[in-house]
């Protein structure tokens, strides 16, 4: 299986603070991999470098055969990396459908002149987009919520909307940043099944940042552990679970029951 994403020697310094220290990271196609580590380990910073929100201080990121190091976020999204955010960043005052439609921005072509003239081609494109957005919302478990403002949705639904929106960007690689934070066990189980469905039905590759070990253990094929910005372990969930350094970093009271 080819590697969809290869990160080599990726490093991020903020002034004197080294948030991510020369991390190598590889994501095989159509896999579900997880990135875990104690709070402050640099996971979200690493994510942000993969998605272009931060420019790496050093290192390279190659995605799908293209060098995307330091490219702006929208360019990386166009290449095929979609993401959700740790603290939900939906467009609160837009409806679920509109949120999803924004996700499609880079896949639609309607320009300014066409929009003003509302050419038949544009009308068709918009209709198709709305249909697709509607389907995505249904797929993500948000049936009937099309016209609800994002801020009015229940927490679990907001998380789902974030995923739907990310899916709208037609990604090859989906980055989920702590997607089950704040969810109860039932919601978490539903979400875990949903992620598997994504990989199986949509042929996506998924990278997960997670704190909930049940999720990590259940669906990850491979787990990478960061601590203080460095990779301290990598392997199957079982291997990592037994790794001494990992246990040390986590104090072992992670909910692995």
Tell me which residues touch other proteins (CB under 8 A): 2-3, 8-9, 13-15, 17, 19, 44-45, 48, 51-60, 62, 65-67, 69-70, 72-75, 77-78, 83, 85, 89-94, 98, 101-108, 110-112, 115-118, 122, 126, 129, 149, 151, 165-166, 168-169
Measured from the CB atom, the residue of 58 and 247 that comes closer to other proteins is 58
Token pair listed for 42: 């640099």
Measured from the CB atom, the residue of 113 and 255 that comes closer to other proteins is 113
* Block residue for tokens 């991999």: 33
Listed in sequence order, the residues at least 6 apart from 11 whose beta carbon sits closer than 8 Å to its beta carbon are: 18, 20, 21, 22, 23, 56, 57, 58, 59
Measured from the CB atom, the residue of 49 and 233 that comes closer to other proteins is 49
Please state whether beta strands 173-177 and 66-67 pair in parallel, antiparallel, or not at all (unpaired): unpaired
Q: In the bound complex, what is the minimum distance in angstroms from residue 108's beta carbon to other proteins? A: 5
Say which DSSP state 2 is in: -
The alpha-carbon radius of gyration of the chain (Å, integer) is 19
Token pair listed for 84: 């959700």
Q: In the bound complex, what is the minimum distance in angstroms from residue 131's beta carbon to other proteins? A: 15
Q: In the bound complex, what is the minimum distance in angstroms from residue 109's beta carbon to other proteins? A: 8
Q: In the bound complex, what is the minimum distance in angstroms from residue 55's beta carbon to other proteins? A: 5
Say which DSSP state 153 is in: S
Q: In the bound complex, what is the minimum distance in angstroms from residue 138's beta carbon to other proteins? A: 20
Measured from the CB atom, the residue of 94 and 189 that comes closer to other proteins is 94
Measured from the CB atom, the residue of 13 and 190 that comes closer to other proteins is 13
Q: In the bound complex, what is the minimum distance in angstroms from residue 60's beta carbon to other proteins? A: 5
Q: SS3 sequence, 68-136?
A: CCCCCHHHHHHHCEEECCCCCCCCCCCEHHHHHHHHCHHHCCCCHHHHHHCCHHHHHHHHHHHHHHHHH
Cα 201 to Cα 203: distance, rounded to the nearest angstrom: 6
Measured from the CB atom, the residue of 44 and 192 that comes closer to other proteins is 44
């Amino acid at each position: 299986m080819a590697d969809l994403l290869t990160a080599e020697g990726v490093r991020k310094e903020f002034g004197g603070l080294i948030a991510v220290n020369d991390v190598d990271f590889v994501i095989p196609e159509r896999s579900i991999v997880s990135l875990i580590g104690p709070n402050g380990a640099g996971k979200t910073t690493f994510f942000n470098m993969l998605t272009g929100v931060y420019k790496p201080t050093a290192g390279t990121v190659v995605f799908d055969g293209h060098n995307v190091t330091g490219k702006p976020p929208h360019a990386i999204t166009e290449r095929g990396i979609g993401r959700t955010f740790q603290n939900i960043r939906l467009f609160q005052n837009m409806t679920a459908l509109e949120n999803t439609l924004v996700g499609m921005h880079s896949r639609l072509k309607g320009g300014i002149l066409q929009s003003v003239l509302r050419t038949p081609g544009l009308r068709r494109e918009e209709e198709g987009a709305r249909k697709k957005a509607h389907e995505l919302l249904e797929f993500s478990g948000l049936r009937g919520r099309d016209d609800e403002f994002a801020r009015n949705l229940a927490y679990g639904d907001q998380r789902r909307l974030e995923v739907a929106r990310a899916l709208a960007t037609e990604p090859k690689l989906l980055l989920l940043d702590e997607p089950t934070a704040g969810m109860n066990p039932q919601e978490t189980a539903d979400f875990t099944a949903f992620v598997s469905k994504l990989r199986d039905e949509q042929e996506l590759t998924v990278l997960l940042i997670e704190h909930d070990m049940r999720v990590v253990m259940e669906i990850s094929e491979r787990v990478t552990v960061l601590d203080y910005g460095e990779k301290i372990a990598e392997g199957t969930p079982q291997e990592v679970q037994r790794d001494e350094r990992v246990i040390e970093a986590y104090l072992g009271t992670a909910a692995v029951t």
